[in-house]
A and B are shown apart, each in its own frame.
Chain A
Amino acid sequence: MTESFAPGVRVRDLTVVYKTPAGELPALAGVGLTLAPGTITGIVGESGSGKSTLALSLLNAVQPPGRIKEGSVEIDGLGDVVKLDGEDLRQVRGRKVGYVFQAAQNSLNPLKTVGKQLLDLGRSHDVADLQALVRDARELLGRMGLDGARVLDSHQHELSGGMRQRVGIMLALVLNAHLVVLDEPTTALDMITQATILRIVRDVHHERGLTTLIITHDMGVAAEVTDSLAVMYGGRVVEHGPTTEVLGAPQHPYTQGLIRAIPRLSGDIDEARALPGRPPTLGTMPREGCVFRERCPLRMDVCDTVDPAPVTRGERTVACHAVGHQVSPPRRKEYA
C-alpha cells in the first residue's frame, strides 16, 4: 500500500506560446487554475482552446515550437515544475505525475509488445520488483475488462483503438503517481467500457488518495466523474466551479452555448443548436477584448476592448463582462 498524499496544484498566470510564421502566439494566456487536493477536476472546451497545452504544462512537457513563457505550476511536494529540468523532470514524469497524453493511442512503440514497453518503463524509473509491476499491470487491465496476458503479449496493431487507450491508462496508473493527468482518456471507447473506465478512475482515485485532472470534450464524461469543472475557451479558463452547478446553471455564455449544442438522445433533434461561428485559432485570436465576443449573444461595447478578468464568487469563477455583476450567494470553499 502507498501512503495517501493528494497534492494540490496551483497554476498561476500561465502563458504558453507557440512559435509560428507570424511570431510567437499564445495558446494559453495568463491561465489560473487550482486543483484542490483529492478532487477530480475536469477541463472541457473547444478544440484548440488549449486543454492539451495546459495538461502538458503540468509536466513541464510543452515541446518546441512551444514554450512556457511565464507563470508557475506549483505542485505540493514538487514545487514549481516550470523551474525543473533534466533528470529531476524525468523522475517527476510517470512516477510523481501519471499521465495519458491525447495521442496515447499512437504513442506505443509499434515494434515492441506492450509488456516489453511496460518493463522499459519500470527500468527507466528504477522499479525494483518488475514482476510485481507486471502483476499490477495485469490487474489494472483486468479491471478494465481486458485479458491482461493477451494485451501484454500484443503489439499495438493487434489492439483495437479502445484497447490501446486502456493500455495508456494502465501505464499512467501503474507507477502509483499521486497526481494523475488524463487527456481525453475515453475518447475512443464505447459507452459500457467508458462507464467501466470512469468507475475505475474514480475508484483508484479514492483508493490511492489522488488528485486527478481529466480533460475531455465530452460533457457527459465530465458530468459523470468530476467534482469540479473548468471550461476553457481561446486559451483562457472562462468558467470554473462545482460540476453540477456549472452544468445545471451555466453562467458564461460560452458554457451555455456548449451545453445547448450537445446532441440529444430524445426529444426534438433541433433543440440542440450548434454555436454560431468557429473557435479562434492562434492566428485569429483577438489581441484585446473578450476572446468569445465574435460568437457571443450578450456582447457589449466593453467586450471589444477589455479582456474580462476572472471573477470569483463563492465556488464559482466566471470571466465575462455580462456576468460579472450578477451576485450569487457566497459558498464555503475557494475554487478559482
Chain B
Amino acid sequence: MITGTGITKTYKQRGHILGGRDVQALRGVDFDVKKGGAVTFIGESGCGKTTLGRIVAGLETCDSGEIVIDGTPMSGLRHRQRQAHFRRIQLIHQDPYSALNPTRTIYQTLHAPLALRARQTGRSKAWAEERARELLTLVGIDPGYVLPRYPHQLSGGMRQRVVIARALTVDPEMLVADESVSMIDVSLRLGILALLKDLRERLGVSVLFITHDIATARYIGEDGELYVIYRGQVVERGPTETVISAPVHPYTQALLSAIPVLRGVERPGAERVEPTEALDERHVDTGCLFARRCPFRTDECEAERPSLGNGGGTPQEHACFHPRPRSVIPVEACA
C-alpha cells in the first residue's frame, strides 16, 4: 500500500533566546505497510511518531527520502496529483479536543463529507443521513444521543469515536490512528481495536497505529508488525508478538519494562531494564543513539551507529551491537 525509504525531517527552531536549535524529528526511517496490513509504532514521547504519521497521511512533507503509494513514487508528482493519492489515507487525530470543530454539531461534522459523497456518487440525501447513523453505531455510540450535540457536550472517549467515524465517511483505504484509543475507556477499547481489525479483514483497510499502550498492538491483528522508534530512528521491528515477548534491543526492553504492573494481578518481568539516565534530546551522538542511556553499552556502541538488520540471527530486525532477548514484560501472578 505505502512504503517509505530513508525518510528524514528536521524542524528548525527560530527565535530562541539560546540561539536556534534544530530538532531532528526523523533520521532516515524505512517502513512498509501492506494492503490490509497493520503496522504499529511505539516509542518515547517526542521521538517522531506523529511526524511520521503526518507524513504518511500527506499532511507534512519530508526533507529527504521517498514515499511510494501503490507503486507510484510521490516525489515526481505535482501537488494536486499527490493529494489524490493521499486522500485515500485518513489520519485519526491524536487529540479529540482539537480534532472536532467546536461550533458544529456532530450531525453537521459528519453530514458535510457524507453529503458531498452522496452528490459525487449520485446517492440520495437519505443515504447520507443513514450512513452517519451507521458509522456512529459502528464505532459504538448511540447516534440519537450524539448527533444533535456539540463536541464539548461529549466526554473525551465519545469524541474520539466521533473522530474515527468521521475518518470513515470517505471510505479510506488506510487509517493512520495516532493515539486514537488512548482516550477510550478500557471496557470499550477492545471494541474499537476489534473494529480496526474488522475494517482490515472485511474491507482490506490498512492500519498504521501509533500508540503508547503497547498491549493494544496485539489486538489489531496477529499478523501485525511492531516498529520501535527512538529519537527519529527505527531501532527494532518485527512481528508484534515476537517484539513484545522477546525484545532484543535494550531500548525496546526499557520501554516494555516501564509498563505499569497491575499490582495485585501481575508481577514485574524477571529481567527488567532501566535506562541509566533520562533522555536528553540535546545530545549529539555519533554512535548508537541510545548508548548514553544503555546499561549494556560497550566502546563499540559509542564509536559507531548500528543499522537495522538481523545481526545475531534474531527473528526481528534491530539496530544494536549486542542484541539479546530478555523477558521484561509483567507476568500474571498466578494465585
Interface residues of A (CB under 8 A from B): 18, 20-21, 45-48, 52, 102-103, 105-106, 145, 147, 149-150, 153-154, 158, 160-163, 184, 187-196, 198, 217-221, 223-224, 243-249, 257-259, 261-267, 269, 272-275, 278-279, 281, 283-284
Q: Which residues of A contact B185 (CB under 8 A)?
A: 45-47, 217, 279
* B61 is an interface residue with CB less than 8 A from chain A: no
A162 to B210, CA, bound (A): 13
Offer 10 A-B interface pairs, CB within 8 angstroms, sorted by A. Answer: A18-B153, A21-B148, A105-B95, A162-B46, A187-B183, A190-B45, A224-B261, A247-B264, A263-B190, A265-B244
Query: Which of B76-84, B121-129, B154-162, B314-322 lies at the binding interface?
Result: B154-162
A193 to B17, CA, bound (A): 27
DSSP class of B's interface residues: helix, strand, loop or mixed?
A: loop
Is the beta-carbon distance between B255 and A192 smaller than 8 angstroms? Answer: yes
Minimum CB distance partner of A245 in chain B: B264
Task: Kindly list 7 other residue pairs between chains A and B, CB separation below 8 angstroms, not including A266-B331, A274-B189.
Answer: A195-B258, A220-B262, A223-B260, A223-B263, A223-B264, A224-B263, A247-B264
A226 to B247, CA, bound (A): 29
A18 to B97, CA, bound (A): 19
Q: Which residues of A contact B153 (CB under 8 A)?
A: 18, 20
A18 to B194, CA, bound (A): 33
Is the beta-carbon distance between B17 and A149 smaller than 8 angstroms? Answer: yes
Is the beta-carbon distance between B263 and A247 smaller than 8 angstroms? Answer: yes
Contact with A along B226-263 (1 / 0, CB 8 A): 00000000000000000011000000001110111111
Query: With contacts A189-B45, A220-B262 known, is A105 near B97, CB below 8 A?
Result: yes
Is the beta-carbon distance between A284 and B187 smaller than 8 angstroms? Answer: no
Q: Which residues of A contact B45 (CB under 8 A)?
A: 160-163, 188-190, 193
Is the beta-carbon distance between B278 and A266 smaller than 8 angstroms? Answer: no
Is the beta-carbon distance between A160 and B46 smaller than 8 angstroms? Answer: yes
Interface residue from A153, A190, A258, A279 paired with B44 (Cβ < 8 Å):
A190
Interface residue from A18, A46, A191, A259 paired with B265 (Cβ < 8 Å):
A259
Q: Which residues of B contact A247 (CB under 8 A)?
A: 262-265
Is the beta-carbon distance between A261 and B189 smaller than 8 angstroms? Answer: yes
Is the beta-carbon distance between A278 and B188 smaller than 8 angstroms? Answer: yes
Q: Which residues of B contact A278 (CB under 8 A)?
A: 140-142, 188
The 4 tightest CB contacts between A and B, nearest first, are A47-B157, A248-B264, A162-B45, A220-B260
